[in-house]
Structure 1
Amino acid sequence: MMMRLAVLLVVISGWLSPVAAQPQPGPVVVELFTSQGCSSCPPADALLMELSSREDVLPLALHVDYWDYIGWPDAFASPKFTKRQKAYAHQAGRSMIYTPQMIIGGQTDIAGFKPVETMAAIDAHKTLSKQAELSVSRTGDRLEVSMAPHGKGPGAVRVVLVRYTPHARVSIRAGENAGRVMDYVNIVTQWTALAEWEGTAPAHLEAPYQGDEKGAVLLQAPGPGPVFAAARVR
């Protein structure tokens, strides 16, 4: 998918403005690694629900599969999200992964339920210097993404499309949370690399975007590393 779509990435020189459309304000991306089978996760899930009402934050729930063995398979879980969590740990030089765990802006690691620390990290990321402009628009079944460096630019980044389900209610019948009825928000169903961008010149790409499921586009350093920009699909 990434290789086929990457050919649509066109570098445009000589623009008078960084991007063709007015860039959207970039929300701070908050990734929560969670599981329906984890008894410590419900408070973090509730915090993510609280964050979902904010325009300046893009909260995303990535359900991992390593709790499934205790008797309740999480229908939202994917081994791809477990692999992503492990990749963050590797980048940080750690051998352990935890649930719940939040990653703020692809950089700040918060293990466990720590709402004060989480809010402080979000506020801190809002003050970081902008390194990229990002504009996203949808026309029918087509998605258009424009990006440009801000200042020196972010360097090489991956252009990522995230699709997510805004809300689901689950009656959990086994495992550590047996008997609980849980509400989950922004449940990630797809994490797709659309293209690679060198981050030094304005560029534009188009990609298919079908269905009513919510989505967002991220510019993130490989690794995974810092998230330099994010925009919801409107």
Structure 2
Amino acid sequence: MNRLFAFVTAMMVGVGATASLAQDTPVVVELYTSQGCSSCPPADEMLAHLGQRDNVIALALHVDYWDYIGWKDKFAHSAFTTRQKGYARSFGSRSIYTPQMVVNGVTDVVGNRPMDVTDQVQAHAAKGLPVPLTLKRFGNQLTISAPAASGLAEADVFLIRYTPSETVSIPRGENAGKKLAYSHIVTEWSDIGDWNGRAPLSSSVSVSGSAPIVVLIQKKGYGPIFAAARLR
């Protein structure tokens, strides 16, 4: 598996000039995962590798529907299950599963298939996002700005915080006896406003603590991500 991840990393480096657009056109990768899912550890490891790249915003959203089989995921939140179900509806699917990765809000890929994930990240890195987004933090104030974007659909502006990494010993459930490393663990997902692109976006919100900050602008109804930025 390590050899495979090394190959995937080499492929990602091969994006070269496209990947160098990191802060202007990031690729957002959401992983829907659970500590109770035996198929998830390879995807969790894959997300950790992706998250090391400057042009990838990696987000692990732990869902709660595995909790009933014997181990309650300490990072799980029902809101993340709701978000995954929203994507399922937008993709025309009747079911949800783990590990699932959603890339830039539009592409669904099985999270423990490294080559498929790599292909999608490379494709979205080459395409980029339609709107540049700038974040600046001054003490406990975060300013968010983006230029006007004609023709943009109604969108939500999300503020996200995450824990960079944590290791968990799991005594029960499908992963019983394992000590697993997790990364980019989403702890907060807040809707902080709406935007339609007709005028420049300029807003300020209060933040606290040292956890990384991500802001996403996403078409309402679990649509494409129009803009994304991160402060670490």
Instruction: Report the TM-score, using the length of structure 1 for normalisation.
Output: 0.87
Q: Does 1:182 align with 2:180?
A: yes
Q: Is the 8 A contact 2:27 2:128 kept in 1?
A: no
Q: Secondary structure of the residue that 1:127 maps to in structure 2?
A: helix
String of CA shifts for 1:60-109, please: whole Å, max 9, x gaps. 00000000001100000000000000000011111110100000000000
Q: Secondary structure of the residue that 2:37 maps to in structure 1?
A: coil
Structure 2 CA distance for aligned equivalents of residues 82 and 205 of structure 1: 29
Letter in 2 for 1:48: L
Q: Secondary structure of the residue that 1:75 maps to in structure 2?
A: coil
Q: Is the 8 A contact 1:48 1:185 kept in 2?
A: yes
Q: Is the 8 A contact 2:167 2:180 kept in 1?
A: yes
Gaps of 5+ in 2: 1-21
Question: How far apart are 1:201 and its partner, in Å?
Answer: 1.9
Structure 2 CA distance for aligned equivalents of residues 149 and 43 of structure 1: 40
Structure 2 CA distance for aligned equivalents of residues 182 and 153 of structure 1: 45
Number of the residue aligned with 2:67: 68
Cα 1:49/1:130, change in 2 over 3 Å: closer
Structure 1 CA distance for aligned equivalents of residues 116 and 37 of structure 2: 21
Instruction: Report the TM-score, using the length of structure 2 for normalisation.
Output: 0.87
Q: Is the 8 A contact 1:133 1:149 kept in 2?
A: no
Structure 1 CA distance for aligned equivalents of residues 210 and 155 of structure 2: 27
Structure 1 CA distance for aligned equivalents of residues 57 and 177 of structure 2: 30
Gaps of 5+ in 1: 1-22
Structure 2 CA distance for aligned equivalents of residues 78 and 142 of structure 1: 27
Letter in 1 for 2:43: A
Question: How far apart are 1:144 and its partner, in Å?
Answer: 0.1
Q: Is the 8 A contact 1:131 1:153 kept in 2?
A: no
Structure 1 CA distance for aligned equivalents of residues 194 and 147 of structure 2: 13
Structure 1 CA distance for aligned equivalents of residues 153 and 130 of structure 2: 9
More helix per residue: 2
- Deviates further, 30-39 or 196-205: 196-205
Identity of aligned residues (%): 48
Number of the residue aligned with 1:103: 102
Q: Does 1:206 align with 2:204?
A: yes
Structure 1 CA distance for aligned equivalents of residues 129 and 187 of structure 2: 28
Q: Is the 8 A contact 2:25 2:128 kept in 1?
A: no
Number of the residue aligned with 1:155: 153
Q: Which has the higher contact order (CA 8 A, sep 6+)?
A: 1
Cα 1:225/1:211, change in 2 over 3 Å: same
Letter in 2 for 1:31: E
String of CA shifts for 1:209-229, please: whole Å, max 9, x gaps. 111111111111111111111
- Matched positions, count: 211
